[in-house]
């Protein structure tokens, strides 16, 4: 975020027509690629009236269950990711150990691997014919086609999000304050709660927001693993796909509209946070926890 005041006098050196052409281009790009599709989602969702929308999205039992499912899967995988992100960032940003770079690179893997391949991997491990399939079956543990499978897949695809936000921030802040705390006799946990967490809170929150958005929308990996049992293992993106396949376009777009709304809320939360961060940088005292 750059404040206009911080820019200096000579920032816009291009002729005015170039400037306005470029600004026009930005408006065009954002309108065509982002605004119109979002508007269309809501247009179709509400094209049959608001009662229909409420009926399809909020009253229908299976749709409501899909929301419930998405909520739980997101909550649990984001929680796992918070612990993982903080732990990894602490290890990587505060210590040097062999294999450190390799570990950082490995955490980026889920960014690049196709979600379909992710689903396939877990199927190969935990499916009935998979490597652990027979053993799990003996003990009556269900992973694939059940909530744990959905959580595993979602956690996998969102693994880098929080860690990636935290590592650069922790590296930038440096260990001085924490070293001081330890030298002054604070216990490890005291230092962690009173120095580390307050220092990284914005990055952590930002990571959580990104992670939540991605977790809510995961489709490719969970579609291989879910079994699509209505009212049991269906998440919202899967339900969109299924309603669409069952000649219920209204229903599909109603749920799509809710997911779109969530992602817009996510963006708003992010923008609001950036605003607050700026404010807190200006007045550091006003922001004590």
Partner 1 sequence: MPFRTTLSLSLVLLAGLAVSAGWGCNTKPAGSVELLHVSYDVTRELCHEVNNRFIKQYETKTGKPLAIKQSHGGSSSQARSVIDGLKADVVSLALWLDVNAISKSGLIEPGWEQRLPNESIPYHSTVVFVVRKGNPKQIKDWPDLVKEGVEVITPNPKTSGNGKLSFLAAWGSVTTRGGSEDEAKVYLSALYQHVPVLESGGRGATTTFLNKQIGDVQLAWENEGYLAVKESEGEVEIVYPPVSIRAEPVVAVVTAVAKRKGTTAVADDYLKFYFEPEIQKLIAESYFRPSDAAVLEEFKDKFPPVQLFRVTDITTSWDEAQSKFFSEGAIFDTLSRQAAK
Partner 2 sequence: MSSSAAKSTALRKRRVLPGLGLSLGYSLTVVTLLLLIPLAACFAKAATLTPSQFWAAAWSERAQAAYFVTFICSFVAAIIDTFLGLILAWVLVRYDFYGKRFIDSLIDLPFALPTAVAGLVYANLYTKNGWFGQWLVPWGIEVSFTRLGIIVVLVFVGLPFVVRTVQPLLETLDNDLEDASELLGATRWQTLSMVIFPAIQPALLTGFALTFARAIGEFGSVVFISGNKQYKTEIAPFLIVSRLEEYAYAEATAVAVVLIVISLILLLIINGLERWNRRYD
Compute the distance between CA of residue 163 and CA of residue 158 in angstroms, rounded to an integer. Answer: 10
Q: Which residue is it, tokens 């009173």?
A: 194
Report how far apart, in Å, the C-alpha atoms of 241 and of each of 11, 33, 211, 215 are: 48, 22, 22, 17
- Which helix or strand (DSSP H or E) is residue 90 part of? helix 61-94
Mark the segment that binds partner 1 (CB under 8 A) among 26-34, 106-114, 138-146, 187-195.
138-146
DSSP assignment letter at 58 = I
Q: Is 2 helix (H, G, I), strand (E, B) or coil?
A: coil
Binds partner 2 (CB under 8 A): choice among 66, 73, 122, 149:
122
Binding to partner 2 (CB under 8 A) within 79-108 occurs at 80, 83-84, 86-88, 90-91, 94-97, 101, 103-108
Binding to partner 2 (CB under 8 A) within 209-228 occurs at 210, 213-214, 216-220, 224
CB contact at 8 A, 252 and 243: yes
Binds partner 2 (CB under 8 A): choice among 29, 75, 229, 279:
29
- Which helix or strand (DSSP H or E) is residue 223 part of? helix 220-225
Mark the segment that binds partner 2 (CB under 8 A) among 46-54, 58-66, 126-134, 280-288.
126-134
Told to check if 36 binds partner 2 by CB under 8 A, we report: yes
Binding site for partner 1 (CB under 8 A): 58, 61, 64-65, 67-68, 71, 75, 123, 126-130, 133, 137, 142, 144-145, 201-202, 205, 227-232, 242, 244-247, 249, 269, 272-273, 276, 279-280, 287-289
């Amino acid at each position: 975020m750059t404040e206009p005041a911080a820019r200096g006098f000579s920032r816009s050196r291009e002729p005015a027509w170039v400037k306005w052409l470029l600004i026009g281009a930005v408006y065009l790009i954002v309108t065509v690629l982002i605004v119109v599709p979002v508007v269309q989602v809501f247009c179709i969702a509400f094209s049959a009236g608001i009662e229909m929308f409420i009926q399809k999205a909020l009253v229908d039992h299976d749709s409501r269950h899909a929301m419930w499912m998405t909520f739980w899967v997101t909550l649990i995988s984001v929680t796992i990711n918070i612990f993982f992100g903080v732990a990894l960032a602490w290890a990587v940003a505060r210590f040097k150990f062999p294999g450190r770079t390799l570990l950082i690179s490995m955490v980026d893997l889920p960014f690049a691997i196709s979600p379909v391949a992710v689903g396939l991997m877990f199927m190969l491990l935990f499916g009935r014919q998979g490597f652990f399939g027979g053993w799990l079956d003996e003990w009556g543990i269900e992973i694939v086609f059940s909530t744990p499978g959905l959580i595993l897949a979602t956690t996998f695809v969102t693994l880098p999000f929080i860690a990636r936000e935290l590592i650069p921030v922790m590296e930038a802040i440096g260990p001085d304050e924490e070293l001081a705390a330890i030298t002054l006799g604070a216990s490890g946990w005291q230092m962690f709660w009173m120095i580390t967490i307050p220092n990284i809170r914005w990055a952590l929150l930002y990571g959580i927001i990104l992670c939540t958005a991605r977790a809510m929308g995961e489709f490719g990996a969970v579609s291989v693993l879910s079994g699509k049992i209505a009212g049991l293992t269906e998440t919202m993106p899967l339900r969109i796909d299924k309603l669409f396949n069952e000649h219920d376009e209204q229903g599909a777009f109603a749920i799509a509209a809710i997911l779109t709304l969530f992602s817009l809320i996510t963006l708003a939360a992010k923008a609001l946070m950036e605003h607050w961060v700026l404010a807190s940088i200006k007045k550091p005292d006003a922001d004590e926890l």
